A and B are shown apart, each in its own frame.
Chain A
Amino acid sequence: MSLFEQFLQTLAEDLQTVAREYGREYTRALIKVGRDFAEQTRDDLLRWGKLAAAGQLSEDDFKWLLQSKKDALEMELLKQEGLALVQKDRLQQAIIDTVAGALTQTFSA
C-alpha cells in the first residue's frame, strides 16, 4: 500500500468517527430543544387560559402574550440557526484536525 493510500485509509476511518459523533450530538440537542419549547408553550397556554378565565388577565393581555409566544419561537429558531452555524464550524475544525492528524501520522512515519 502506498503512503497516500495509507493516508486515505486513516483519514476515512477518522472522519467517519468525527461525523458520527458530531451528527449524534447535534440531533440530540435539537430534539431536546424542540421538546422543551413545546412543553413550555403548553404550560404557558394552560396557565394563561386559567388566568384569563379567572379574570386576572384581560383578553387584550392574553392576546399580547400569545403574540409574544410567536416572537419567542422566532428567537428560539434564530438561536438554533446560529448554533447550527457554530456546529458547522466545529465540525469543520474537527475535520481539519483529523486531516492534519492523519497527514502527520502517515507522512512523518
Chain B
Amino acid sequence: MIKKLLRPPGIVPFLMLLVLSITACSSSISLFDEQAYQQAVDLKVDALALMKQARQPYDAYEDQVKQLQKEMERAYEYAHGRPKNEVSARQWELMKDPNRHLLGGFLKRWRLQSRLSPVFIEEARKSIGRAFDTIIQLESGKIKPSEIH
C-alpha cells in the first residue's frame, strides 16, 4: 500500500494533504473564547452603570471604582495570557490606561475632579460604550472552535 501511495501520481495527494494539515494548524489569531466575550459584555454593563454615578462625589464610589479597575485588569491579563491574542490585549490596554481617554481615563478624571457634569458623563458613556463594542465585536468575530474541521 505504501508503495502504491508513493508511486506518482499517488504521492501528490499525499504530500498535499500533509502540507495542508501543517498549514491548518497555523492560525493567525486566537479562536473565539466564550469567557473573554462574557467578560467584555459584563464589564461594559458594569462600567456604563458606574459612570452614571460620576455626578456624585468620587469618594462615595471609590470602592466600586477600584472593583471595576480590578475586573478590567483581570480581563486584560486574561486576554494577554491567551496565545495569538495580542490585538485584543492591546484593546484592553487602551481601555484601562488612566492616561488615555477611555474608561481608565474617565475614572481618573472623576477622581481628580471629584464629580463630573451630567452632559459630559452622557457623552463619555456613548464613546466608551462604543469602544467596548469594538472589543466585543472582535471577540465575537473570531472563528468558533466548532467551525474548525
Measured CB to CB, the residues of A under 8 A from B are 2-4, 7, 40, 44, 47-48, 51, 56-58, 61, 64-65, 67-72, 74-76, 78-79, 81-83, 85-86, 88-90, 92-93, 96-97, 99-100, 103, 107
Tier of interface size on chain B? 35 or more
B100: CB under 8 A from chain A?
Answer: yes
Most chain-A Cβ atoms within 10 A of its Cβ — which of B94, B109, B127? B127
Give the chain B neighbours of A99 by CB distance below 8 A: 16, 20
> Given A75-B134, A78-B91, is A4 in contact with B12 using a C-beta cutoff of 8 Å?
yes
Q: Which applies to chain B's interface (DSSP): helix, strand, loop or mixed? A: helix
> Given A65-B124, A68-B127, A85-B28, is A75 in contact with B109 using a C-beta cutoff of 8 Å?
no
Give the chain B neighbours of A40 by CB distance below 8 A: 130
24 A-B pairs within 8 Å (CB atoms) are namely A4-B9, A47-B123, A56-B119, A61-B123, A64-B101, A64-B105, A65-B120, A67-B101, A68-B102, A70-B101, A71-B94, A71-B102, A72-B131, A75-B91, A75-B95, A79-B91, A82-B29, A82-B87, A83-B137, A90-B143, A92-B27, A93-B149, A103-B13, A107-B13
B117: CB under 8 A from chain A?
Answer: yes
Give the chain B neighbours of A4 by CB distance below 8 A: 8-9, 12
Give the chain B neighbours of A75 by CB distance below 8 A: 91, 94-95, 102, 131, 134-135
Distance between B98 CB and nearest chain A CB, rounded to angstroms: 12
